[in-house]
Structure 1
Amino acid sequence: MSPFQVVYGVEAQLPVTVELPALHLMKAIEDTSFGDALDKRIMYLHKLNEDRLVVADRISVHQQKVKVLFDKKARFRDFQVGDIVLLWDKRHEPRGSHG
């Protein structure tokens, strides 16, 4: 999970995608055996999955905290049929950046 996705909830649309190096490239770069390269890749993927779960858990906790704070300040109103309410007329709102 990218930091962009953590903040905005969707994956960024980048012109270049970053991928995991292929096993034969890992083996060539680090000059290790195929088994060692495979073990490193599996460990990396497990760590990546754990990091994603941690981030998802933190997001969930944060969303719950934000909801509690909002619910403390919000006044929920129960309207019944026939109640008189004020409707805001958006036609009179200023438009554009300068009003």
Structure 2
Amino acid sequence: MEGLKKKLQAAGGSWVDELPNILWCYRTTPRRATGETPFALCYGFEAKAPTEVAIPSRRVEQYEPDANEESMKIDLHLVDERREQAYVRAENYRRQVKSYYDAKVRSREFQVGDYVLRRREASQPTEGGKLALKYEG
């Protein structure tokens, strides 16, 4: 995301012109949680970079329509499996993030008579406008 922010800042006011490039970067960057790109999860195969189309690479030069069609059919059958694997990885990632968060949280126990701060909007939502105190107690 930082790279995308820098690219937008460099574009200045013409962010609309940069939007297709930004979306391309976002859709073809693997996510930490799933290990897959959003493009691959949607279509079942990795996207071909625009430079591969403009400048022939080995992958483009060895293109055979019949073999490609067979490969696409096989990939389409494997899309569901790929999505299931991504779901499992996302769940594992969610558990890791939860355990990391839970390790950092301090448990707090309150006794009757303890002083605590309470948000005022629950008891007096309209008094004082935006300059009013947010907490009481």
Q: TM-score range by the shorter chain?
A: 0.3 to 0.5
The alignment's TM-score, normalised by the length of structure 1, stands at: 0.44
The alignment's TM-score, normalised by the length of structure 2, stands at: 0.34
